[in-house]
Structure 1
């Protein structure tokens, strides 16, 4: 049931709300609900690769924070959504996940590495206009959605933290400017 709620939640992101944030012609709502918890848009950022726009991301938290360690330490739900502004193949996405894991997680256990392998198996080519989402619920783990379809769930806060660290860790794959924006900076 929680996975169905996550699917409905991500589908609702496609609706244009009264209050919203916009970047690169992508609009994200200021708030969303995960289960009974309201999450607030912490920051919105544009991922660029070699001056080419790739996706607009939004990080939703129970309370806004610009402190990566505090965000990762928080035990509450959170959500990251990526709205793609160009086509990206699954191979490129998977390489970014593995690179991000290696660069941002100090001690990668075999169990965590296996969870990232599981994540790479969920990835598909993503087309312009499609969204990828990661909804973390402490009770169930992280639900992965691509193009409005549930791709599966991965248990454990260790995985949720490692995925988020690829964006807000010490060496974020999308770059320091992206990290600053997703943390609510300009």
Structure 2
């Protein structure tokens, strides 16, 4: 009986150990469920500045893909998870990075999205600290639902907004080439 109990504990421990992946100092789950849709980690990478790990980013999708255009164009529930691993990531720096990211993603033409971008930037109204986790979830046919540490921050309608938001990490001028390649499962 003792051997069976030990074996069961070992099996449960192994299954829990493989349910997550380490990306630098961050730990990301292999699977998530948003809006009733099971999503699997497509890939993950680390945003670094001067060899300092800033945050890990993971892309979650129902079906894996390494084609950024296909991912950006898809009208399927998917999510980007950002796990802050450095105290250098601050509220002010995150807001600036997101605003710059939208400018890059839209080739400087943010006019059609300005109101929604401002609403999204408002989601960063509280201080950002090490170990904060942001989930940016696109829900099919609806829009983005944002979470910080599992607390819902709000939602923003539109697939066009999802396209621009996800393009910050998956576009031709990504926030980090390492995160882009990681999210695409290439690296």
TM bin, normalised by shorter chain, reads 0.7 to 0.9
**What is the TM-score with the length of structure 2 in the denominator?**
0.84
CA contact (8 A) 2:75 2:141 kept: no
Please list every run of at least 4 consecutive aligned residues from structure 1 whose deviation after the TM superposition is greater than 6 angstroms.
Answer: none
Residue pair 1:59, 1:79 contacting (<8 A) in 2 also: yes
* Native 8 Å contact 2:142 2:159 kept in 1: no
**8 Å Cα contact 1:144-1:153 kept in structure 2:** yes
- Structural mapping, 1:1-186, within 5 Å: 18-87=18-87, 88-106=89-107, 108-123=109-124, 124-174=126-176, 176-186=177-187
| TM-score, scaled relative to structure 1 | 0.84
Deviation at 1:23, TM superposition (A): 1.2
Corresponding position of 2:10: none
Mapped to 2, the partners of 1:153 and 1:160 lie a distance apart of 11
CA shift for structure 1 position 36: 2.9
Unaligned runs of 5+ in 2: 1-15
Q: Secondary structure of 2:48's match?
A: strand
Instruction: Tell me how many residue pairs correspond in the alignment.
Output: 170
Please give the root-mean-square deviation of Cα atoms over the aligned residues, in Å.
Answer: 1.7
Output the CA distance in 2 between the equivalents of 1:63 and 1:17.
23
Q: State the Cα distance separating 1:133 from its structure 2 match.
A: 1.2
**3-state secondary structure, aligned to 2:182:** helix
